[in-house]
Structure 1
């Protein structure tokens, strides 16, 4: 049996009932549930949750017009922190929803990247260490045979709930891009 060691002052309060007046009336025995890995990853990129409607959030975003995106109606949107967001809809009859968030490392020179707890790390080993420390549930794998080309010539990836994360590096192991897809949308 373990013995509970309390300071003398605490014992005196218990013995005299002095702590009863300040004790809470109800105590919850159920701790708050931890965030799902997907929710934690999602919020580390930006406060806009996956599935946010573009119409509801576009006032706080800047449209990035690159690569003839206007013709295809597939432009990316940047928030005040520099995180890019991609919205998608299956048809013109349904609202565009946030499906991808990503960070272009070169746009964060001299600034910390909050996504996945990367901070100021930019070299592959440091970045992967930070990502694994961000949440031990992240099963990050770096396999040179599985490179999509979406984020760099080298790629590490992890499945997170219905989505996945890709972390890209150049040939010199320097971070290029971090991408979070909330789910398969096409």
Structure 2
């Protein structure tokens, strides 16, 4: 009888633990992997903006008026909520300087070719397409590279002068 109980308990523990990624293990779902690479706060789930960190645009934001409030965590990632649901995460490369960027496994890469190689290796399941300056619609001299996930979320990388990375972003859904 004890053997059956122990075997049942072991089977239950194994079943419960199979979906949990342990530290250092890769996340199979590309959206989940990309999301986790930006910050520990999960997209598309309810959360408390104040728990993320500091409000960076407190005097110029009003979520009710359509001016998104941005909450910065301790690593410099900005988080934008739609109501109480985390919708967007962004990284401003200039603010990080030479620090490694964990988002999308960009690391120390900053040129367009280097960044795209790193991101495509990190997310081989996602096609990444680029629009050149003038066609990207992101401002004069800015190129945009993006990819879409099966769940409807997407990533966007912006490159400015000299094809240098200026920002990285992940959206769970369209908020406006």
TM-score range, shorter chain: 0.7 to 0.9
> Residue 46 of structure 1: which of 39, 53, 58 is its match?
39
Superposition map of 1:29-178 within 5 A: 35-54=28-47, 56-65=48-57, 68-70=60-62, 72=65, 74-89=68-83, 96-144=84-132, 146-149=135-138, 153-161=142-150, 162-178=152-168
Asked if 1 retains the 8 angstrom alpha-carbon contact of 2:99 and 2:108, the reply is: yes
Query: Against the structure 1 CA distance between its residues 35 and 110, is the aligned structure 2 distance closer, same or farther, given a 3 Å change threshold?
Result: same
Distance in 2 of aligned mates of 1:148 and 1:160:
21
Asked if 1 retains the 8 angstrom alpha-carbon contact of 2:41 and 2:52, the reply is: no
Unaligned runs of 5+ in 2: 1-9, 20-26
Query: Against the structure 1 CA distance between its residues 70 and 52, is the aligned structure 2 distance closer, same or farther, given a 3 Å change threshold?
Result: same
1:99 offset after TM fit, Å? 0.3
1:88 offset after TM fit, Å? 1.1
1:67 offset after TM fit, Å? 7.5
Number of aligned residue pairs: give it.
Answer: 152
Unaligned runs of 5+ in 1: 1-24, 90-95
SS class of match (2:163):
coil
1:142 offset after TM fit, Å? 1.2
Query: Against the structure 1 CA distance between its residues 120 and 67, is the aligned structure 2 distance closer, same or farther, given a 3 Å change threshold?
Result: farther
Q: Structure 1 length as normaliser, TM-score?
A: 0.71
Q: Structure 2 length as normaliser, TM-score?
A: 0.75
Distance in 1 of aligned mates of 2:41 and 2:62:
23
CA RMSD of aligned residues (A): 2.7
Match status 1:185 vs 2:163 = no
